[in-house]
Amino acid sequence: MIQAKGWAAQDPKTDLAPWDFERREVGPHDVQFDILYCGVCHSDLHQIKNDWFEGIFPMVPGHEIVGRVVKVGEHVTKFKVGELAGTGCMVDSCQVCENCKEGLEQYCLEGNTQTYNSMERDGSRPTYGGYSNTIVVREEFVLHISDKLDLAATAPLLCAGITTYSPLRHWKVGKGHKLAVLGLGGLGHMGVKFGVAFGAEVTVLSTSPSKEEDAKKLGAHHFLVTKDPEQMKAAQGSFDFILDTVSAEHDMNAYLGLLKTNGVMMCVGVPSKPYAIHPFSLIGGRKSVAGSGIGGIKETQEMLDFCAEHNIVSDIELIDIKDITASYERMEKGDVRYRFVIDMATL
Ligand code: NAP
Ligand code: ZN
């Protein structure tokens, strides 16, 4: 066993605190890398609070992980000791179902193995995430990270990046499209960057008027304050796509009204309660509500390579692990600009 240290929630009511635990030995197909930075996703907060379902505790969150390889198994061919490496939300899948074969491991028909709050495939122990010093992952789920980009700011690409890149690619959002990004947080700000990079006309839909200047700096062409009924009224029927990144309950019917005929609402945010969608919100204009989960491994590598080529990273606030609870509080208030990343040297 490998002795690891990290920060864990012992139960859904307790703040994260230091915790020592064990990881599996490096198997023939495994890569071990020491973690240098880990992004803080709203999903971490949802899961330590049992917002979605009963979690596995103690829980070490973190699925935006980058670091340097320290050991590889004898059959590993993709990685060498000393190289940069990254892991996102998944560490395993069945690898043989039709979805896995198509590079859609996130939709593995047997269910993928999540980086934390999941059981290892052999059922032996829970998986533990990136708020820790080291991790062991099977080679297929380890990504190559460019040394051209700022490493800390690259970490959020592993979840916030791929989760916004994948639906925009799937629905072929680009030139000639009007894209609205709903919620300017970790996912939202990446959605803006990719939407702009793909050539769409991008509008940020936000509850926070104070984010307008940032939205424009991120490349957004327009900014709409969703709490202002006049602005909402003026934007009725104007978008081809809305990328919904909102983490809390919100009125879908109001936002569906902003879509054009045949418009698509791409849901990636996961509030704890189901949406209440009135059929009329969809029928009047043949609108679709769709969802998308992270992205497959091949597409994640494609996204990372795209970012290296186009110099795209997250806008981050680098934090000390000791400030994690305070950072969660700010995230809960929508006050994240635009991703917290933990400097693991502070562990
Ligand atoms: P985040 O950084 O906290 O951003 C969420 C943003 O939503 C906030 O900054 C805020 O932006 C807006 N918002 C918050 N409460 C709102 C409300 N009541 N009404 C309207 N807007 C509100 O969170 P994140 O890390 O980007 O994650 C967003 C969601 O995506 C979470 O639910 C997370 O679990 C989920 N997620 C899904 C996937 C997937 O595979 N589908 C992957 C990762 C994360 P404004 O201030 O601009 O309004
Ligand atoms: Zn995430």
Residue 7 counted as domain residue: yes
**What pTM was estimated for this model as a whole?**
0.98
Distance in Å, CA 347 to ligand 2 centroid: 21
Encoding tokens for residue 205? 């839909």
Residue 308 counted as domain residue: no
124/61 same-domain check: yes
Distance in Å, CA 190 to ligand 2 centroid: 12
Atom 44, ligand 1: residue with shortest CA distance = 43
265/341 same-domain check: no
Q: Which domain holds residue 324?
A: 2-159+313-346
Q: How many domains does the chain have?
A: 2
Distance in Å, CA 41 to ligand 1 centroid: 9
CATH code of the domain in which 76 resides:
3.90.180.10
Q: Among all ligands shown, which has an atom nearest to the Cα of 47?
A: 1
Question: 268-296 pLDDT, tens per residue?
Answer: 999 999 999 999 999 999 999 999 999 99
Helix (H) or strand (E) run with residue 254 in it: helix 252-256
Residue 27 — pLDDT band, cuts 50, 70, 90?
very high
Phi and psi for 140 in degrees, rounded to 5? -60, -20
Atom of ligand 1 nearest to the CA of 187: 26
**Residue 247's pLDDT is what?**
97
Atom of ligand 1 nearest to the CA of 249: 18
Residue 306 counted as domain residue: no
71/176 same-domain check: no
**Residue 102's pLDDT is what?**
98
Q: Among all ligands shown, which has an atom nearest to the Cα of 331?
A: 1
**Residue 316's pLDDT is what?**
98
Encoding tokens for residue 292? 């998308």
98/201 same-domain check: no
235/270 same-domain check: yes
The DSSP output letter for 280 is H
- DSSP letter for each residue of 4-68: EEEEEBSSTTS--EEEEEEE----TTEEEEEEEEEEE-HHHHHHHTTSSS---SSB-----EEEE
Q: Among all ligands shown, which has an atom nearest to the Cα of 215?
A: 1
Phi and psi for 81 in degrees, rounded to 5? -55, 135
Q: Is 24 left (phi over 0), alpha (psi -120 to 50) or beta?
A: beta
254/229 same-domain check: yes
Residue 52 counted as domain residue: yes
Residue 300 counted as domain residue: no
101/201 same-domain check: no
Residue 108 counted as domain residue: yes
CATH code of the domain in which 210 resides:
3.40.50.720
Cα(102)–Cα(114) distance, integer angstroms: 19
185/248 same-domain check: yes
Mean per-residue pLDDT of the chain: 98
Question: 76-131 pLDDT, tens per residue?
Answer: 999 999 999 999 999 999 999 999 999 999 999 999 999 999 999 999 999 999 99
178/321 same-domain check: no
Residues with CB under 6 A from ligand 1: 41-43, 46, 159-160, 163, 183-188, 206-208, 211, 245-248, 250, 268-270, 292-294, 331, 334, 336
Distance in Å, CA 43 to ligand 1 centroid: 9
Residue 157 — pLDDT band, cuts 50, 70, 90?
very high
Atom 8, ligand 1: residue with shortest CA distance = 334
152/277 same-domain check: no
Residue 116 counted as domain residue: yes
**Residue 54's pLDDT is what?**
97
Residue 302 counted as domain residue: no
Query: CA distances (Å), 166 to each of 97, 131, 170, 278, 346, in order?
Result: 20, 25, 6, 27, 32
Q: Among all ligands shown, which has an atom nearest to the Cα of 295?
A: 1
How many Cα atoms are found within 13 Å in the side-chain-facing hemisphere of 226?
23
Question: 32-45 pLDDT, tens per residue?
Answer: 999 999 999 999 99
N- to C-terminal Cα distance for the chain? 20
**Residue 124's pLDDT is what?**
93
173/274 same-domain check: yes
Distance in Å, CA 22 to ligand 2 centroid: 23
148/165 same-domain check: no
